[in-house]
Structure 1
């Protein structure tokens, strides 16, 4: 993948504004995203849609971390809309379900890790809802931490139509028993922190071997000294260098895929 210069960042949170150097005038021009309630069967969910101000170059589907769809995913959606993409952050937990305690977050992720069919179904339902909202096609799917694992689950399934690329940021990389990647899987970008103790470099190497054996187009970027969750602006493990480099790599994928 070719590299592009890191653009100024825009977002909802003060940390992003400080990182980008944007003024109050720039903030006034920021995309106007909004929440979207939708149903999957008899269950209610709430996503977030940020639309490109002009004709969109394509769509980015965002899959949240283990704490559910929060201001962080909304911020990233607005940043993508500012760059000319429609962005839809989906909800895998259910309307109003945004766990705060660690045990509650573990329980929510375990519920989906233990029921991969439900994980895929809810992800595809979120993609369908985005398209019902009139977003541009084609699509790239991206996710953070737990969401990154969901991204790879969707990539292995081959069930998502008109998806032209996948990206996982400090996400889970393991392949469940009985699953595998196919040669026609769209390109995959893996952004990983070299100091991540949750997902190890051994996990990275194993994934690379699987993708290489399957003939999948992929790129793995490892950022020295970056811990798990290095992209979470305002978090105690945030690393600006790794965030900026991974964001630039992601936009390079978007340029090529969309």
Structure 2
């Protein structure tokens, strides 16, 4: 299936964001995916994933976090992302701004949208669900974050989360808190733990400094991608 891509500019969090829009071939409306990146920001890793999903028939917007920048320096990344992760309203603002762009695309079926994200991008997807956004599915890798008390009850779609068993940033206590929140809210949830994997195990090296507790795991990266595709196939099937 042929597909096309283009950058899209929009405003969020006081910044001019530069997202990556991937469109499947044809002219009809299609189900859509809002794709969020790791805390370092939008890179070719997410762009390639967006393109792969477009090849499957989805309209995809890989959204930006840092105004067109990729924060390769760990200290700079943490200085921006840690306050962001502690502020659900800011996360929701970033997510909703990107969602507005995706919904405004004529190829998007606005009633059939899923949120998929990695790290900070996954946390934003979860916050959209906690904010009551109408989504068909939420998938998150490396982000088993919890929200404000009671707000998970607003999630109206299945939630799948994947995490490495040895991830020091999302340790067992955090995983347990996340699953307790989902279960207590009556969410249709699943958690996949990838044995031996660290944080960002899905993300191929892109040349920046190695961070303790973060490493690529090629086999589990492939498995996590298959799990993401399975979630979309179940909850947001493409009909020709």
Please give the range of the TM-score, normalised by the shorter of the 2 chains.
Answer: 0.7 to 0.9
Correspondence 1:45 to 2:24:
no
The match for 1:23 is: none
Deviation at 1:63, TM superposition (A): 0.9
Partner of 1:246: 224
Question: Where in structure 2 are the equivalents of 1:153-168 lying within 5 Å?
Answer: 153-158=127-132, 160-161=133-134, 163-168=135-140
Q: Aligned to 2:49, which of 76, 82, 89? A: 76
Equivalent position SS for 1:68: coil
Query: Which of 109, 115, 128 does residue 81 from structure 2 map onto?
Result: 109
Which residue does the alignment assign to 2:100?
128
TM-score, normalisation: structure 1: 0.80
The 10-residue stretch of structure 1 (129-138 or 179-188) with the greater mean CA deviation from structure 2 = 179-188
Counterpart for residue 15 of structure 1:
none
Q: Secondary structure at the match of 2:4?
A: coil
Question: Which of 29, 34, 41 does residue 61 from structure 1 map onto?
Answer: 34
Q: Give the aligned length.
A: 226
Which residue is equivalent to 2:160?
189
The residue aligned with 1:146 is: 120
Larger strand proportion of the pair: 2
How far is the alpha carbon of 1:183 from its aligned partner? 6.2
Unmatched tracts of structure 2, length 5 or more:
none
Deviation at 1:141, TM superposition (A): 0.3
Match of 2:235 in 1: 257
* 1:241 CA displacement: 2.0
Please give the secondary structure, in 1, of the residue aligned with 2:103.
Answer: helix
> Separation in 2 of the partners of 1:52 and 1:167?
21
Contact 1:165/1:187 (8 A) holds in 2: yes
CA contact (8 A) 1:92 1:123 kept: no
Partner of 2:141: 169
CA distance in 2, matches of 1:229, 1:40: 25
Which whole-Å deviations, capped at 9, do the CAs of 1:180-216 have from their partners, x for residues lacking one? 3116521000011112121112211221122112111
Partner of 1:203: 174
The question of whether the paired residues in 2 share the 8 Å contact of 1:69 and 1:98 is answered with: yes
The separation in 1 between residues aligned to 2:176 and 2:14, in whole angstroms, is 41
TM-score, normalising length: structure 2: 0.85
